[in-house]
Amino acid sequence: MPFEFKFPDVGEGIEEGEIVKWLVKEGDSVKADQAIVQIETEKAVVDIPSPRNGTILKINYKESEKIKVGAVLVVIGDKGEKVKSSGKENKKEEKTIEKKVPKRGQSVVGQLEEAPDEELIEMKHAEVMIGEKQTAKVLASPAIRKIASERKIDLSRVKGSGEEGRILKSDIDNRGEDKEEIPQQTLVIKKKYDDFGYIERVPLKGIRKTIAEHMSLAVKEAPQVTSMEDIDVSDLWKLREKEKKNMEKQKVKLTFLPFVVKAVIAALKENPILNSSIEGDEIIIRKYFNIGIATETDVGLMVPVVKIAQNKSIIEIAKEITELSEKARNRTIDIMDMQGGTFTITNYGSVGGTYATPIINYPEAAILGLGRIFDRAIIDEKGKLKNIKILPVSLTFDHRIIDGGQAARFLESLKMFLEDPEHLMLELK
C-alpha cells in the first residue's frame, strides 16, 4: 500500500522549508535512509532521507516551492502501484488568502494599488509617468505654465479651481513658491521600478530571514554596549609564521583564529560571567566553552560552533574551523553544528574591517569582533622607533549581565594571553 511520507519536524521550531533540489524523480527506486531531497529551512539546507525501501510514486512539490512540516512530501510504494491521492490537499494551508492581497488596477503607468475612493485623485485629466523624467499632465494654459516655470512651481502639486480642475492664475498666486506641500489626497502608485532597471528586489527568506529576525530579537531583548581595545600581537605574529610552515606539512591552514579561540577560553575562565546567558530570573554561567565562529556565506552570516573547545588543541580547532566553515559555505552543514554556542567570535578583519559594534548572538552574553591586523610605530623603552602588529578587537556585551568593569577585565585578560602566547605552544602538540 502506498505510503505518504510527510515533511518531518527537523527541530528548532522550524515550521516550513523550501525545496532546493530533488535527488530522485518519480519512478526511481530508493532505499531506506537514502537522501531523496534537499530542503532549505530557516537554519540550513538539510538532506531528507527516505523512511523506507520502495519506488517514488508521486512527488508533490516542485523545486523552489515551500512546504509545511506535516505536509505530504512524496508517496512511496511498490513499483506499478497507483496513487489514489496526489497529496495536493496538503497545500491548502499554504495558499495565500486572497482577501489579504490588495486589489490592483491597471493603467497606462503600470499597477495602481487600489484604495478607498476618498483616497484617490481623479485620473480624468492627469497622467503620472514614472521614470527618468517624472512629469504630470494637467489642465493649464501656456501662459499659466510660463508663470509657474518662472516661479519654480510644480503644477502637478497645484489644485485647479477652474472648470474641470483647470489651473487659474489665482491658484498660483495663492500658492506662491513651491513649498513641497503634500496633497491631502494622494495617489498611491506601486510601480515596479525594477522594470526600469533602477532597483533589484531580493526575497527576504530562508536563512537570511532567520538572521534578520534573530538580530532584531537580540537588539530588542538585550541592552548592548561595545568596548574596544588594541592588542600587540607581534609575538603571536612571529609564532604563527613559524608554526604555519609546520602545519602546512600536515595540510592544516593555520590562521590567527585558533590562537584567539584558545586565548578567549583562557580569558573566559578568569571572567566566567561572559560565558553566560539569562534564563527567566536566573543568570546561567556555563563551565564548558562552545565557541561560535561567524562565517560569511552567500546567504549571510552563519555561526558554526566548535564544541567543548577547551579540550581541543590549536591544531584540532584549526581543522574544525576549516571543516565547519566549508560546510556552511557549501550549505551542507548540519543544524546541530550551529547549536549550543556559549560565546561567539566574528572576524570581520578578514575582509578589511578595523573596529565594529557586533551584535551579540542572543541569548549569549557577549561576542568578540576581530579587526584587521595593522602596523603601528611606537617608541620603545630605549627610546628607539619600533614597529608592532596591532589586533583591534571589539567586545559587545549584554549590559543586563555584564558591567563595564567586568568587560574591561576580560579584555585585559585576553590582551595578556595574546601578547604573551608562549603558553599556547603546548596546545600545538
Cell of 250: 600536515
Spatial separation of the C-alpha atoms in residues 80 and 96, rounded to whole Å: 35
Cell of 396: 559587545
User: Residue 278 in contact with residue 400, Cβ under 8 Å?
Assistant: yes
Spatial separation of the C-alpha atoms in residues 206 and 204, rounded to whole Å: 7
Pairing type for strands 66-68 and 16-22 reads: antiparallel
Active-site annotation holds for 423: no
Which residue numbers are catalytic?
Answer: 399
